[in-house]
Amino acid sequence: MERLKGIGVSSGIAIGPALVAIQRTQVIRFPIAPDRVARELSALDRARARSRDQLVQIRERIAQLKGSDLAALFDAQLMMLDDPMLVGRAASVVCEERVNAEWAVQRALDEIAAIFNDVRDPYLHERKGDLHDVAGRLRMNLRDEKGGARDLLQDLDTPCVLIADELTPSVVAQLDWTRIRGFATDAGSRTYHTAILARSLGVPAAVGLHDVSLRIPPGASVIVDGDSGEVIIEPSPADWQEADARARIMKQQVAVPHAADGPVRSLDGVPVVLQANIERSEDVAAAIAAGAEGIGLYRSEFMLVGGPPDMAAEEEQYHVYRQLVERMAPRPVTIRTFDIDERQLARPLVDAALDARWFPEHDRTQRSGHAGLRGIRFGLAQPEILKTQVRALLRAAAHGSLRIMFPFVSSVHEVRTARVLVEEARAELRTRGIEAPAVPIGIMIEVPSAAFTAPLLAREVDFFTIGTNDLIQYTLAVDRMDERVSDRYQPLHPAVLRLLRAVRRGARRRGIPVSLCGEMASDPLFLRLLLGCGLTDFSMTPGALPMARRVVQETSIAEMVHVAAHVFTLGTVEEIDQYLRRAFDHPAEILK
């Protein structure tokens, strides 16, 4: 028995045998039934054939564009594809170990890579990149084929717990969570999209466990506690019993309906708006059940993950947005334009814009959150993609209350350019005889430069939404995905609080509404402080709404204003944290 401690990010207990996804590749090892071996082998053959066709096409294209010397680079990859050490070895692994082909390709790759590592020849060293590229392509083609990993999951007769080094949001969005009871990962933090998605799916999850994926052998019994962040490997019978009993109690609690009707007021009568953050249109029901007064953040980029290949087309998007606003009506819906970067999974988009073949698969599935060409920057660099989305949004706005929000804004110039694109999109619709309604245009304040220039930005837009998940990481220079610095990710840092106050003041001076949609609001301690800072409009994961409702109803905002004023005189996170806890536990003492 071994206990590991991570960060609990999605409440609940998951118990079962471990399904282990190996390092950095998102390859999952599935044991397969004997009658499935032949199917896996033919899938491998077809993947090789498709990979070959793709490589030949790429070589021809490069030969046309840049000449045959450069095109010859792909001859090496074609040779690797035919080398028995790769596909041949993978086929043997499928037969000998009775495992899925994707895992077998990875095993063969690891074995060859180990040989390359020992070779000093620099030319051969460079070929290692080609080898990874070829293996990545093979795996991608295996995965794309119907009957890939998702199909194998249907064959699992025992539900399991997924253990991985890192799970990208796209993988989480695609897995069948009726078969997988929960997950634990080496990497991660509370605000990474994987954690956010787990909460919205109601899947128990613990992250930031450093090396859990290496410590747990496939098939070992595990318990993942999504509240304490603890993972128990090969638990004792007593641990089993306790976890099982707790899991039952939690299920009963979840089944209790939430008393969540109408707008909420603080103890001293101030109206507070509570809306939901969602990633999938199916989550509308959960948002309404939890009492959401609207959708404060729809992360539209999730729609592209695992969706049909033409999901980036205007018509498909229009139907999704229209359905969303109609189902929420008369409540408002704020839709954020795609917050992706060019390397992310959004295959339909990337294919359309950049030609996905130039991005090896592992690059496209990498974690997000980088300060590169993402959010509005990506939209402005690919105006046709942004305009397609805006046209779909403007059309959908005719069917309900819709607001458009741009992510990752860092300057007034970006906002002006984006607004010009909105007008162009509107004009394009007009030429098609469609007169779109006026739609509020807002921005996310999640980059320090935007927070510092809030009074200037407030002149350009109709509303602000503060994204503390990113704002904290960029203000404190702490990667929200890197578990080694997760203790430095401090929502109560004086710099963060000052920025929040500056944004609220900037918005108030111009009379535009400001809400906050970061995960910070779903913590009762932080929420009270935010109320004291003058923020009264929040959006959060639906699961946190009942808690937020209760906190608001029990909080006197006038008292919190005093508490917040004192907080702004304190110098460290520890002092602020201790003071807030005392203020909430013994208000009479603090407020006399």
Catalytic residue among 132, 258, 362, 517: 517
- Closest CB to Mg ion among 30 and 192? 192
Residue closer to ligand PEP, measured from CB, 163 or 195:
195
Closest CA to 405 of 462, 459, 450, 331: 462
Q: Does 468 bind ligand PEP (CB under 6 A)?
A: yes
Contacts of 345 (CB under 8 A, 6+ apart): 168, 170, 304, 305, 364, 365
Which residues lie across from 2 on neighbouring strands? 233
**Residues 169 to 208: which contact ligand PEP by CB under 6 A?**
191
The single residue among 470, 482, 483, 537 that binds ligand PEP, judged by CB under 6 A, is 470
Q: How far is CA 541 from CA 69, 191, 544, in A?
A: 53, 11, 6
Size of the site for ligand PEP (CB under 6 A): 11
Q: Which DSSP state fits 84?
A: I
Q: How far is the CB of 422 from ligand PEP (least distance, A)?
A: 21
Check binding of 467 to ligand PEP (CB under 6 A). yes
**Cβ-count burial 189-223 (b if 16+ within 10 Å, e if not):** bbbbbbbbbbbbbbbbbbbbbbebbebbebeebbb
Sign of dihedral through CA atoms 370, 376, 379, 383? Answer: negative
Q: If contact means CB under 5 to 8 A according to the sort of partner, which of Mg ion, ligand PEP, none does residue 518 touch?
A: ligand PEP
- The residues in 441-460 that bind Mg ion, with binding defined as CB under 5 A, are 446
Does the annotation mark 193 as catalytic?
yes
Contact flag: residue 517 with ligand PEP (CB under 6 A) = yes
Query: Based on CB atoms, which residue is closest to ligand PEP, 93 or 492?
Result: 492
**How far is the CA of 509 from the CAs of 270, 323, 393, in angstroms?**
20, 35, 29
If binding is defined by CB under 5 A, does position 470 make contact with Mg ion? yes
Distance CA 14, CA 10 (A): 11
- Residue 279 binding: pick among ligand PEP, Mg ion, none (C-beta 5-8 Å cut-off by kind): none
How far apart are the C-alpha atoms of 10 and 545, rounded to whole Å?
A: 14
Choosing from 160, 193, 493, 533, which is the catalytic residue? Answer: 193
The helix or strand, by DSSP H or E, that contains position 557, with its residue range, turns out to be: helix 557-567
- Rule CB under 6 A: which of 323-352 touch ligand PEP? 339
Residue type, 16: G
Closest-approach residue to Mg ion (CB): 470
Does residue 212 contact residue 231 with C-beta atoms inside 8 Å? yes
Distances (CA, A) of 278 to 27, 176, 212, 466: 27, 19, 29, 16
518: contact with ligand PEP by CB under 6 A: yes
Q: Does 341 bind Mg ion (CB under 5 A)?
A: no
> Looking at beta carbons only, is 240 or 452 nearer to ligand PEP?
452
Smallest gap from Cβ 539 to ligand PEP, in A, equals: 8
Shorter beta-carbon distance to ligand PEP: residue 136 or 208: 208
Point out which span in 143-151, 233-241, 448-456, 463-471 binds ligand PEP (CB under 6 A).
463-471
Establish if 537 lies at the interface with ligand PEP (CB under 6 A): no
- The strand pairing partners of 466, in sequence order, are 445, 516
Q: Residue ranges of the alpha helices (H) in 88-188?
A: 89-97, 101-118, 122-144, 149-155, 169-174
Q: Which of 107, 127, 199, 299 binds ligand PEP (CB under 6 A)?
A: 299
Size of the site for Mg ion (CB under 5 A): 3
Q: Is 370 an active-site residue? A: no
Binding at 194: pick from Mg ion, ligand PEP, none (beta carbon under 5-8 Å per type): none
Smallest distance from Mg ion to CB 191, Å: 9
What string of DSSP letters covers 479-494? Answer: -TT-GGGGGG--TT-H
């609207």: which residue's tokens? 294
CB of 279 to ligand PEP, least distance (A): 9
* β-pair type (180-185, 205-207): parallel
Site of interaction with Mg ion (CB under 5 A): 446, 467, 470
Site of interaction with ligand PEP (CB under 6 A): 191, 297, 299, 339, 446, 467-470, 517-518
Question: Which residues are catalytic, by number?
Answer: 193, 517
